[in-house]
Amino acid sequence: MSYLIIDKVTKKFDGTVVLNEISLAIEKGELVTLLGPSGCGKSTLLRCIAGLNEVDGGRILLNDRDITYLAPRKRGVGMVFQSYALFPNMTVYENIAFGLKMQGLKGDRIAARVREMIDLVGLAGKEESYPRELSGGQQQRVALARSMIVEPDVLLLDEPFNALDAKIRKTLQMELKNIQKKSGMTMIFVTHDQEEALTISDRIFVINEGRVAQSGKPLEIYSQPASEFVARFIGNFNVLKGEEFEQLVGESIFSGKSLAIRPEIIKLSLNGDNGKCHNGSWRIKGEVVGVFLKGNILRYRVRSKDCILDVDVLNNSLDCNLNYDTSVELVIPKDEVKVLNL
């Protein structure tokens, strides 16, 4: 049996269904992410697991216990919120030690655990600092350490990096993943950021309209989207109707279906560059109608007939930058065109 089981959980607010008999299972020691757009139900599910929202149907089982209707303090669940909720009048040491004091631990036992946790989250030297003296990233580490030190059966993280700038956020994503692996703690992370989910997760549950749209490992979710919703949400797929693609390639094989094509698998070359032709691929003539710099990636928007395709290439991978109105040739491997469920 899985460590945490969400079994057909339903939650309504004022008659509106937010969680629609949602079911999922999480193994012990996993870091999983609930990923989805705003309003899809992911944070509501987290609060139901924590006991902050009462469910209207279904069951929640944790470590072979039915915790569906237990009080939050009896569930063995910790939670880290977007707002760090640190005690402003307590030092870093005191904030982290707070939960252990509430459990009745004393003196040396608390000191040893706090030192261990401070080292784990990289806050050595900040023990006597107050929250107002810390950066946002450091405050988030304190909140994480305070939740982890009481050793909950599962730790819930509700978009904890949302208020941080991009550089700090990326650093903390990697640190969280390392901390989770070292501690072996089961964690459930909520985000609407696709890149964040792909970076940190052992598995991802894509949520849409209160249900699981798809679940799997990050590479599986990214490279094998099961539906048009997942393809459009998880990355920058080119999503086309079968009839549109048939018009491009001149073959009638996808009628009535939707297709997804990753922008980075499309090969782009100038017309006449036959050296880049591959067996088992379609070749399509087009014209550049947009050029966008995304750091180490150049995204070209190419029009072919009545379709627009995005093509991603490494910033240094072309002999020359292509300008608007440049005629190009696209090479699309046949086995990289994914047929989607509607």
CA atoms within 13 A of residue 12's CA, in its CB half-sphere: 7
pLDDT at 144: 92
119 shares its domain with 254: no
Residue 1 is which amino acid? M
pTM assigned to the model = 0.90
299 shares its domain with 168: no
Q: What's the number of domains the chain is made of? A: 2
Residue range of the domain that includes 292: 236-340
Can you give the three-state secondary structure of 59-124, one letter per residue? EEEECCEECCCCCHHHCCEEEECCCCCCCCCCCHHHHHHHHHHHCCCCHHHHHHHHHHHHHHCCCC
Domain boundary at 179, 205, 233, which? Answer: 233
CA 97 to chain centre: 30
Domain boundary at 209, 233, 257, which? Answer: 233
pLDDT at 276: 45
* Average pLDDT per block of 10 residues along the chain, 342 residues long: 96 96 97 96 97 97 96 94 88 95 89 93 94 93 93 94 86 92 95 94 97 96 93 91 89 86 91 54 93 89 93 74 86 92 70
Structure tokens of 39? 């309003």
3-state secondary structure of 320: coil
281 shares its domain with 334: yes
Nearest to 145 by CA among 112, 123, 173: 123
Residue 194 is which amino acid? Q
